[in-house]
Amino acid sequence: MSTYLFDTSAFSLFLLGKIPEKWKRFWNDVCLIRKNKLILFEPLISEIFYQFSKQIGFDKTKEKIEWIKSLPTSEMVLLDDNIAIIAGKYKINFSIFSISLVDCYILALAQRKNATILTTDAGLKNSARKLNINTNFIPFKEIES
């Protein structure tokens, strides 16, 4: 079983139905085939909510988040002090890549859970590379075209 962490940009694409061909397998594995695990955590949910609700409103966003959380393959991970400290260190160590604090939590959890990160964020990809964390990256420019 594989484990995935989708960043906010990846979730936005999935929730808007704009799944890049390269990522359809991951989404299907989590949602349809249900053979792989999707890691979620509260700050990611919060970021998805505030980013996505701008486009479709609060109620529809909440529905979509509840649907994702209800998937049998979703695992809501509670953050502990160790993850918080590691994420804080990553925020400092990878400041050159301008990644968000949520992205730092993604890195820390991906490392702990041996998860693959799906992202359109080059900074997150580069930070993950420094930590030898598997990523599946699609530049946002490729998605827009």
Residue 35 has pLDDT above 80, yes or no: no
- Give residue for tokens 């827009």: 144
Q: What is the mean pLDDT of residues 97-112?
A: 97
Q: What is the mean pLDDT of residues 99-123?
A: 97
* CATH superfamily of domain region 3-139: 5'-nuclease (3.40.50.1010)
Q: How far apart are the first and last CA of the chain?
A: 33
Structure tokens at 23: 């990522």
Q: Are strands 37-40 and 74-76 parallel, antiparallel or unpaired?
A: parallel
The rounded distance, in Å, linking the Cα atoms of 109 and 106 is 5
Query: How many degrees, rounded to 5, is the angle at CA 133 between CA 61 and CA 33?
Result: 50
Q: Please state the domain extents for the chain.
A: 3-139
Helix, strand or coil for residue 19?
coil
Helix, strand or coil for residue 33?
coil
In this prediction, residue 33 carries a pLDDT of 66
Q: What is the mean pLDDT of residues 29-46?
A: 88
In this prediction, residue 64 carries a pLDDT of 92
pLDDT in tens, 119-145: 999 999 999 999 999 999 998 776 655
